[in-house]
Amino acid sequence: MKKKAAIHNLGCKVNMYEADAMQQLLEKAGYEMVPFTENADVYIINTCSVTNIADRKSRQMLHRAKKLNPEAVVVAAGCYVQAAGEELLKDESVDIIIGNNQKNNIVEYIDEYFESRVKKDVHEDLVRETEYEDMFISGTAEHARAFVKVQDGCNQFCSYCIIPYTRGRVRSRRPELVVEEVKALAGAGYKEVVLTGIHLSSYGIDFKNGDDNLLELIKKVAQVEGIERIRLGSLEPRIITEQFVKELSKIEKICPHFHLSLQSGSVETLKRMNRHYTPEEFLDGCNVLRKYFGHPAITTDVIAGFAGETDEEFEETLEFVKKVNFYEMHVFKYSVRKGTRAESFPNQVSEEVKSLRSHRLTAAGSRMSRQFRQYYIGREVNIITEETVDFSGKAYTTGYTKEYVRVAFEGTYEPGIIIKGIVKDFLDNETLAADII
């Protein structure tokens, strides 16, 4: 009888990719994949540690897995492992501890545990790690879009961030291997790929050949037949130069959807965060994107209530995000991370003030987001179909434009096809309704 395995993923797009890759390794080894809520022989939690909340969720899911089946093998993998490996060694709910550069060997470690029934720890310090762990996927749970991991690690050491310690230094995937995977995904019917990494803008800096940078990788991926769209993961604001954007705009398959992590619109707050740009430089980059792409979707992350953030600094951030006029903002309340420089910073902001500031930023983001979507009413759009949903008793097929605006067409269409139409109006706060043309 086949052993059953279940995977629960927490965190970023890189984690999603690695969870898909681990699932395919397990399937190849003969495991039957089941939902996490069902009884399984093996439970794998691909953990996250970007915030204290992520840490807590990781612990909760590990304990939940052991309660689902006390006889099952529970595997903790990923960033929380790197941040709290010593704690997990003492946690009786966890049987196998796998670090961020060992996920490719997951089947081997599970097999070894079944033989010995001895707790296994295979996480190590990634600070000096220089080898990229190559994983490979040929499909995902989504039908139209596939995430492709091309880079790991970060060298930035922002004062609030634990990621350089949980993911290690910058490591890039060879471009020929990226292209090989994208070709396989195109062959499986995927029309859109999202190039993602922990610090995507650093792609190629660890190669001896300086020609293998992110722009050149994008150009190579664009040559893959069958791929209609290339979307980029989060970018460092400093990569957005006139030369970079001008070359990018020549690639027809590029989606004009750019996620630039702002974090704060205050010069002084950015300095304390160890972010190496000013609000003015960030705005210059946004203006360059709008110069070459017309109406690009520019999205961002903002931290509310960072250590020492004064009322004045917060107001500067609020006014700045309005000035940039983002499509979407992901707002996070600052979470003190053990082991980071900001842990010891004075003048920590109270939870009450963080919540108030977060609410104001979120409200501003909602207004800007609706305004951005409003632009498309009466205009022609293309989507790649993804799923069928119900709106007021009618079936609609939804998908996203190149700018990542959700659009719905009445009727049922198979996933992964391109539909063209004219936008009529809002179907709900986040979805536009369109008629096929």
Give pLDDT tens digits for 16-28: 999 999 999 999 9
Q: Look up the domain containing 76 and give its range.
A: 4-122
Sign of CA dihedral 205, 147, 277, 283: positive
Return the structure tokens found at 108: 């081997």
101 and 10 together in one domain: yes
pLDDT at 143: 66
pLDDT tens for residues 49-91?
A: 999 899 999 999 999 999 999 999 999 999 999 999 889 999 9
Inter-residue contact 231 to 268 (CB < 8 Å): no
Q: Is the pLDDT of residue 195 over 80?
A: yes
Residues 103, 138 share a domain? no
Query: What gap in Å lies between CA 107 and CA 86, rounded to an integer?
Result: 23
Report the alpha-carbon distance of residue 140 to residue 146 in Å, rounded.
6
335: CATH? 3.30.750.200
Percent of the chain past pLDDT 90, that is, above it, reads 93
Q: Residue 146: inside a domain, yes or no? A: yes
Per the structure, the count of domains in the chain is 4
Angle between helices 279-293 and 242-249 (to 10 degrees): 20
Q: What is the pLDDT, as a whole number, of residue 157?
A: 96
How confident is the model over 374-424, as pLDDT tens digits?
999 999 999 999 999 999 999 999 999 999 999 999 999 999 999 999 999
Same domain, 217 and 317: no
Mean pLDDT, residues 159-173: 95
CATH, residue 18: 3.40.50.12160
At residue 129, the pLDDT reads: 65
pLDDT at 86: 85
Q: Which two tokens stand for residue 195?
A: 């190039």
Tens digit of each residue's pLDDT (9 = 90 or more) over 31-52: 999 999 999 999 999 999 999 8
Question: What pLDDT is attached to residue 410?
Answer: 97
DSSP letter assigned to residue 225: T
Q: Residue 298 domain-assigned?
A: yes
Confidence class for position 125, pLDDT limits 50, 70, 90: confident
CATH code of the domain containing 395: 2.40.50
**6-30 residues labelled b (16+ CB within 10 A) or e (exposed):** bbbbbbbbbbbbbbbbbbbbbeeee
Q: Please check whether residue 137 lies inside any domain of the structure.
A: yes
Please check whether residues 181 and 291 belong to one and the same domain.
no
Please check the confidence at residue 142 and state whether its pLDDT lies above 70.
no
pTM value is: 0.94
Provide the residue type at 140 as one letter. Answer: T
Question: Are 83 and 136 part of one and the same domain?
Answer: no
Claim to verify: residue 108 and residue 149 sit in the same structural domain: no
In a domain, 413, yes or no: yes
Answer yes or no: do 155 and 229 share one domain: yes
CATH value at residue 196: 3.30.750.210
Name the band, by pLDDT with cuts 50, 70 and 90, for residue 186. very high
pLDDT score recorded for residue 128:
72
- How many Cβ atoms sit within 10 Å of the Cβ of residue 412? 10
Q: What is the mean pLDDT of the chain?
A: 95
Measured over the CA atoms of residue 150, residue 156, residue 162 and residue 164, the dihedral's sign is positive
What is the pLDDT, as a whole number, of residue 417?
93
pLDDT at 140: 75
| Local structure of residue 202 (DSSP, 8 states) | G
Q: Name the band, by pLDDT with cuts 50, 70 and 90, for residue 13.
A: very high
Grade residue 1 by pLDDT with cuts at 50, 70 and 90.
confident
**What is the model's pLDDT at position 320?**
98
> How do 431-436 and 192-197 pair as beta strands?
unpaired
Q: For residues 89-113, b (16+ Cβ closer than 10 Å) or e, as one string?
A: eebebbbbbbbbbbbbebbebbeeb
Radius of gyration of the chain (CA): 22
Q: How confident is the model at residue 123 (pLDDT cuts 50, 70, 90)?
A: confident
Q: What is the spatial distance between Cα 57 and Cα 52, in angstroms, rounded to a whole number?
A: 9
Is 56 within a domain? yes
Q: Is 169 helix (H, G, I), strand (E, B) or coil?
A: coil
Non-local (6+) Cβ contacts of 236 within 8 A are 156, 199, 200, 201, 202, 260, 261
DSSP string across 350-416: PHHHHHHHHHHHHHHHHHHHHHHHHTTTTSEEEEEEEEEEEETTEEEEEEE-TT--EEEEES---TT
Q: Is 241 contained in some domain?
A: no
Distance CA 377, CA 175 (A): 39
